Amino acid sequence: MPDTSPEQRNEELHTAKQVQLENVGALTRDQLTPQAAAEPRGHDVPGHDHAPVTAAGPRAPWWHNPYAPAVASLLLLLAGLALDHFRDQAPFFTGFVRLGWYGVAFLLVGWKVIRSAVQSIPSGHVFNEFLLMSLATLGAFAIGEYPEGVAVMLFYTVGELFQDAAVNRAKRSIRALLEIQATEVTVLRDGQAVVLDPKQVAVGDTIEVKPGEKVALDGTLVQGPASLNTAALTGESVPQTKQAGEPVLAGMVNLESLIQVAVTAGYQDTKLAKILALVQDAVGRKAKTQQFITKFAKTYTPIVVVLAALLVAVPYFVVEDYVFRDWLYRALVFLVISCPCALVVSIPLGYFGGIGAASRAGILFKGSNFLDAMRELDTVVMDKTGTLTQGVFALQQVQPAPGTAPEQLLRLVGALETKSTHPIAKAVVTHVGAAAAGVAVENVEEIAGHGLRGRVDGRDVLAGNTKLLAKFGVAYPPEVDQVVDSIVVAAVDGQYAGYLTVADAPKEDAARAVQALKADGITKLVMLSGDKDSIVQRVALELGITEAHGGLLPEDKARYVQQYKDAGHKLAFVGDGVNDAPVVALADVGIAMGGLGSDATIETADVVIQTDHPSKIATARRIARATHAVVWQNIWLAFGVKALVLALGAGGVATMWEAVFADVGVALLAILNAVRIQRTTF
């Protein structure tokens, strides 16, 4: 056990803390989860490499840059075209020299594609864009159209690089959002405080948690008592007092003095690691549109190959002046145009761009399918505490007795409450602020379960519940007993002086969130809470929610949600406490408040709002609609251009250059359109 006490360490918080740099852990992806270490890939076909996201480090040689082969190939292609144009001045540029020149330009960008086409055969993925690109470009070389073969492969590779850049950008934005979680923790070892990466903390170590900090690891309290905000785990706004030996869980927030926690669970079991693993799975959860395009491409590609073969063979029997080379060229153009790159690349990228845009707005979608589901909602059901309200006490109302000024009541009660650590007392002190400064307070007595008694500015003051006044024989109006909020009743010099109400205040953007959802087409807004029904109805009226139910257990919330679903509503449930996890799982879209939300709810949810702002629900719907629009723009663009150029190519009007535009050009346009989502402010 360290030889420094929490009291001593409290004093040390006011001095500069010396930390050795080598002791400050840097949280990296490969330290978190095995899944997180996996680099993003654009396709599932083996051998098709994409540019990885790497941490900052020594600069690699220029030839290791993923863009270097494409740049070199482009320079060789341009130089080759110039030599072709000025062939009279370059008579050497013929035969094997010309083939070798263009061959090098082709292999710089094409060898990975050809390798991918070959390596995909054992896995059964024979008919894919790699096969189409390989057949078309190698066929172009076979009939002597070297520049076209290089151009097709070059621009295809450029499109892939654009895709990688867009995917990696989205990955980085999601990862940056998640990595703002706790990245260091103070560990007591050999009597010294050492700052480490939480990943390096072992079970049995003792960690320190400063006031206002979130507990990073599960453990037991070494010394008590300690006041902790447990709203993340219980959904209750009242802080809990923990004694020595009692469990302290990751996600709780230390409210008062420095505490020590003996670690009982490793960092891999905490919220951050779980969310990162879920992020890695998000790409695999495909939307219906994405699933359709994937299935379509698997059927479409072999049909295209067969049609290209027929385009070469059939004219031999029906065309009088049949020239094999001409019809082979048309078939190759047909293959290039038919490549489904624009669809198989840009549509997943569109959804992933939506996920990336949402992450920058503080919203985590765990899969592209939830983007579609969010757009289709007509009903939003919300918890109250921690979701629409702040989850902390705040002064709501000052009701002085006749003849007593509100300022005087606040000043006397606020000064007396400075001697208490109760959450309700703290809410009063916070509200009163400087008005209670300098007021003489003496002879304070705390009466357990009742409140405080003391002399304030030379006057006898009582502040607590109605039992306190009854104990000292102070009469008060009977309507005081009907107040539903938490109440502080006061008496001055033996006379009733009024009361203050303290309640969990709505979040600043709660009313705006309700109005935004109504304006966004949500026809049914419901609030379900375990709090008193009278309080729930008051909050609902204040926020503009027309249907609200209080006094509910988790199973009651689930019953209401099931009733709405049975009535045909597309429904989202928004909650934060562990008691909300079953209902979050039941909803069509489960949304968790992730800033202080419970691990169980965040893991169960389909969408996590990292900022705890309910107005982000409407933002998530706007992002979902924008993503849907971009995806369908890409679909119609790809099909429209390809259908036109396919007809021209089959008729011998379109050349390989038009085919390049119809394939790679459209893919680039679609990718740029998808990237546009990430640059949009919602």
Q: 214: which DSSP letter?
A: B
pLDDT of 34 > 60? The answer is: no
Which residue in the block uniquely carries the two structure tokens 């066929």? 139
Query: For the domain that residue 208 is a member of, what is the CATH number?
Result: 2.70.150.10
Query: For the domain that residue 540 is a member of, what is the CATH number?
Result: 3.40.50.1000
- Residue 39 domain flag: no
On the 0-12 / 13-18 / 19+ scale of CB atoms within 10 A, 164 is buried
The percent helix, strand, coil of the chain (3-state, each to 5) is 50, 15, 30
On the 0-12 / 13-18 / 19+ scale of CB atoms within 10 A, 388 is buried
Q: Are residues 579 and 438 in the same domain?
A: no
- Residue 157 domain flag: yes
Lowest mean pLDDT among 155-159, 420-424, 575-579: 575-579
More confident residue, 343 or 191: 191
**Mean pLDDT throughout 215-232?**
79
Rounded to whole angstroms, the Cα distance separating 29 from 74 reads: 35
Q: Are residues 411 and 272 in the same domain?
A: no
Length of the chain: 682
pLDDT at 54 (0 to 100): 40
- Residue 19 domain flag: no
pLDDT at 524 (0 to 100): 94
Quick count: other Cβ atoms within 10 Å of Cβ 481? 10
Highest mean pLDDT among 14-23, 258-267, 593-602: 258-267
Q: Distance between alpha carbon 40 and the CA centroid of its chain, in Å?
A: 17
Look at residue 571 and give its three-state secondary structure: strand
Q: Which domain holds residue 424?
A: 390-504
User: For residue 157, what are its two tokens?
Assistant: 């590779």
Q: Are residues 411 and 457 in the same domain?
A: yes
Rounded to whole angstroms, the Cα distance separating 350 from 353 reads: 5
Per-residue pLDDT tens over the stretch 507-547: 889 999 999 999 999 999 999 987 778 888 989 999 999 89
Q: Catalogue the active-site residues.
A: 383
On the 0-12 / 13-18 / 19+ scale of CB atoms within 10 A, 591 is buried
Per-residue pLDDT tens over the stretch 457-490: 999 999 998 989 999 999 999 999 888 777 899 9
Q: 390: which DSSP letter?
A: E
Lowest mean pLDDT among 88-92, 338-342, 413-417, 618-622: 338-342
Lowest mean pLDDT among 56-70, 126-140, 191-205, 309-323: 56-70
651 closest CA partner among 339, 338, 334? 334
pLDDT at 526 (0 to 100): 96
pLDDT at 137 (0 to 100): 82
Rounded to whole angstroms, the Cα distance separating 533 from 541 reads: 12
pLDDT at 167 (0 to 100): 57
pLDDT at 21 (0 to 100): 24
pLDDT band at 39 (very low <50, low <70, confident <90, very high): very low
More confident residue, 616 or 43: 616
Average per-residue pLDDT in the chain? 78
pLDDT of 279 > 70? The answer is: no
- Residue 97 domain flag: yes
pLDDT of 17 > 50? The answer is: no
- Residue 422 domain flag: yes
- Residue 59 domain flag: no
SS (H, E, C) 17-75: CCCCHHHCCCCCHHHCCHHHHCCCCCCCCCCCCCCCCCCCCCCCCHHHCCCHHHHHHHH
User: For residue 16, what are its two tokens?
Assistant: 């500069």
Query: For the domain that residue 444 is a member of, what is the CATH number?
Result: 3.40.1110.10
> Which stretches does DSSP call E strand in 149-299?
185-189, 192-196, 206-209, 219-221, 226-229, 240-242, 247-248, 253-254, 259-263
Per-residue pLDDT tens over the stretch 78-130: 999 899 888 888 888 988 999 999 999 999 998 988 888 888 888 777 767 77
SS (H, E, C) 464-507: ECHHHHHHCCCCCCHHHHHCCCEEEEEEECCEEEEEEEEEEEEC
Per-residue pLDDT tens over the stretch 325-381: 888 888 887 777 776 666 666 677 778 778 878 877 888 888 778 888 999 999 999
pLDDT band at 598 (very low <50, low <70, confident <90, very high): low
Q: Are residues 385 and 415 in the same domain?
A: no
Q: Are residues 174 and 228 in the same domain?
A: no
Q: Are residues 342 and 328 in the same domain?
A: yes
**Mean pLDDT throughout 130-141?**
79
- Residue 21 domain flag: no
* Of the residues 276, 311, 338, the one at which a domain ends: 276
Q: Are residues 147 and 198 in the same domain?
A: no
Look at residue 438 and give its three-state secondary structure: coil
Q: Are residues 482 and 523 in the same domain?
A: no
pLDDT at 37 (0 to 100): 33
Per-residue pLDDT tens over the stretch 645-663: 777 776 777 777 777 777 6
- Residue 40 domain flag: no
| Structural domains of the chain, count | 5
Q: In what order do the strands lie in the sheet with 192-196?
A: 192-196, 185-189, 206-209, 259-263, 219-221, 247-248
Q: Containing H/E element for 445?
A: strand 441-447
Highest mean pLDDT among 214-228, 343-357, 571-585: 214-228
State the pTM of this model. Answer: 0.59
Q: Are residues 265 and 210 in the same domain?
A: yes
pLDDT of 419 > 70? The answer is: yes
* Of the residues 128, 152, 179, the one at which a domain ends: 179
Q: Are residues 581 and 610 in the same domain?
A: yes
* Of the residues 575, 596, 621, the one at which a domain ends: 621
User: For residue 51, what are its two tokens?
Assistant: 């540019």
Per-residue pLDDT tens over the stretch 543-562: 999 899 988 877 888 899 99
Which residue in the block uniquely carries the two structure tokens 């729930």? 536
Rounded to whole angstroms, the maximal C-alpha distance in the chain is 118
Rounded to whole angstroms, the Cα distance separating 74 from 340 reads: 23
More confident residue, 581 or 282: 581
Q: Are residues 512 and 568 in the same domain?
A: yes
Look at residue 629 and give its three-state secondary structure: helix
Q: Are residues 398 and 494 in the same domain?
A: yes
